[in-house]
A and B are shown apart, each in its own frame.
Chain A
Amino acid sequence: MSSIVIENISKNFGSVKALNHINLELTEHKIYGLLGRNGAGKTTLLNLINNRLFPSEGQILFDGINIENNSSIQNQFYFIGEKSLYPDSMKVKALYKYTKMFHPDFDETYAYKLSEMFGVPLKKKLSSLSTGYKSIVKNIVALSVNVPFVFFDEPILGLDANHRELFYKVLIEKYIDQPATYVLSTHLIEEVSNIIEEVIIIKNGEVIKNESKEALLDNGYSISGPTGLVESYCSGKELIGFDTLGGLRSAYIVGKPDENIPQGLELSGMDLQKLFIQLTNI
């Protein structure tokens, strides 16, 4: 089974430590959600995996081989970032043609089919596309390139609700049809929570959670009720955050709930976004 192993990776930009001794493993045929607040280090990590930046410490291995400046390995990854590395003056059609030149498995027919679904103007230059359509074109290329590991950094930037829905649908269909590993880094957690299987949460350059979505959500719950009751319930438990409204409080707890919940308190599951917010609040 192929996997990307990130060993003790750190990255400094001058005096700023963007990543601090990250250890992770990305295995094949999974959809990962790479979540984190602004400036947490998600894009830096993706840039390191995809050979755009060099680590200050540590190494990244693919099947035991260092990925740095290794074409045969990098050809198995495809990364679309917020910042486009495509030539601005290139037309959409030409982009598909040249991507096919570099990636023989690039499915041009599928790319054109997706372009029609999304309404992409093929003869336009990339620089003249709107923000949304730039994201769409990048997504289409990433979905058509047919490599084992595909990384998306903010794939739904600028997309309207219809296009976002279509993107998720197409991604799932592609995943079912030709399984690969997809890593999605996004701020719209509520929307992607239905499609991701594994969750990686980065906070201040460190990984604070790296587990399956089910395990993460199973291991957290919310308890609501009068403030005093909630406070006494929470005593001795791993409290990660709370919201107060008047005399009522909602507390977010890591762990399994007690078998008997005191009367007056209401137990509910935590959704991924709420859990993320509570885990990453300063």
Chain B
Amino acid sequence: MSQLIKYQLLQLKNSFIIFALILFGLLIFGGITLYIFADSNGASSVNGTEFSMVIFIFVIFVCCFGENFRFFIQNGKSRKEIFTSVIFTEIITSFGMTIFILIFNFISNVVFNRSIIAYSSLIEQMYGENLFGFMKYIVQFIFIFATLLVSGSFGFLIATWFNRAGKIGRILIAAGVPTFLFVLFPTLLGIFPSLRLLIGNFLLYSLGLKSNNPLIASLTFVITFIIFSIISFFIVQRTEAK
């Protein structure tokens, strides 16, 4: 098992380094540009790093599964072992990236003087600043960790589903999932106000936006991570290596 986790982390290492370099590059470039051109009354803002990490972790778990799965089967690993190693890799990766984000946010706050440029993290954008006082960093850690975990597990689920599917199934997943998420679903919300209200209320409560509590969102994400992982487990168990 440890060999599988080590292998996956080694494969992710280069991608993460490149991504981190890009982020720091943007930080430096953005910082210089905004200092030169920004309005001095703090009308400029910088944000989106956590969200980019969420997408990054989703993408890496979508892309890596197929190749890794086949290589592990080649080396005589059971599907249960492969699944468990991916879960542990997700947890380790999410933990590491959470630490990175917290450090990055800290540096960004130092770089971007708030009187000129407002740097806001995802949790501050959603729940406001100065939340939980001295517990702020612990709450931020839990929130970011849970967000990355659910994103990685969603990527893993899509990947397992895609690998298991036949030709038509793969087309449905590759085209259908984005179409549903970005076209059909918003359209349905527009057509049916009651559905919009229902979904809206569900999101307000499950993401802790109603009570302004990011820990509720963290719990929702962890439960969703567990659900996605269980579904992925059953899919992986019957995936053939072809």
Contact = CB atoms under 8 A, between A and B. Distances in A.
A23 interface: no
A83 interface: yes
Contact of A85 (B74, B79, B81): B74
Interface stretch (B53-61, B120-128, B216-224, B234-242): B234-242
Contacts of A50: 76
Contacts of B3: 101-102
Interface in A21-64: 47, 50-54
Interface residues of A, number: 24
21 contacts: A50-B76, A52-B240, A52-B241, A52-B242, A53-B241, A54-B240, A69-B79, A69-B80, A71-B78, A74-B78, A75-B76, A76-B76, A77-B76, A85-B73, A85-B241, A86-B70, A87-B67, A87-B71, A102-B7, A102-B77, A103-B75
A148 to B, nearest CB: 12
B136 interface: no
Contacts of B210: none
A242 interface: no
A74 B76 contact: yes
Nearest to A68: B78
A14 B75 CA distance: 28
A130 B87 CA distance: 36
Tell me whether chain A's interface is mostly helix, strand or loop, or mixed. loop
Nearest to B74: A85
Interface string B1-38: 00100110000000000000000000000000000000
Contacts of B238: 54
Contacts of A70: 78
Contacts of B76: 50-51, 71, 74-78, 102-103
Contacts of A79: 74
Nearest to B239: A54
Contacts, number: 57
A20 interface: no
Contact of A86 (B74, B80, B240): B74
Interface string A61-97: 0000000011100111111000101110000000000
Given A54-B240, A86-B71, A98-B7, 14 more contacts: A51-B73, A51-B241, A52-B242, A53-B240, A53-B241, A70-B78, A71-B76, A71-B77, A71-B78, A85-B71, A86-B74, A102-B3, A102-B7, A103-B75
Contact of B81 (A71, A76, A86, A87): A71
Interface of A: 47, 50-54, 69-71, 74-79, 83, 85-87, 98-99, 101-103
Interface residues of B, number: 20
Contacts of A102: 3, 7, 75-77
Contacts of A78: 76
A50 B237 CA distance: 15
Contacts of B74: 79, 85-86
A101 B238 CA distance: 26
Interface in B77-98: 77-81
Give me the 5 closest cross-chain CB pairs, A-B, nearest first: A74-B76, A102-B75, A85-B74, A85-B70, A52-B241
Contact of B78 (A52, A69, A98): A69
B3 to A, nearest CB: 5
Nearest to A102: B75
A75 B78 CA distance: 9
A87 B229 CA distance: 25
Looking at B6, B237, B240, which has the most chain A CB atoms within 10 Å of its CB? B240
B203 to A, nearest CB: 39
A153 B75 CA distance: 16
B62 to A, nearest CB: 16
A74 B78 CA distance: 8
A86 B242 CA distance: 12
A118 to B, nearest CB: 20
Nearest to B81: A71
Looking at B6, B7, B74, which has the most chain A CB atoms within 10 Å of its CB? B74
Nearest to A51: B73
B49 to A, nearest CB: 29
Nearest to A71: B78
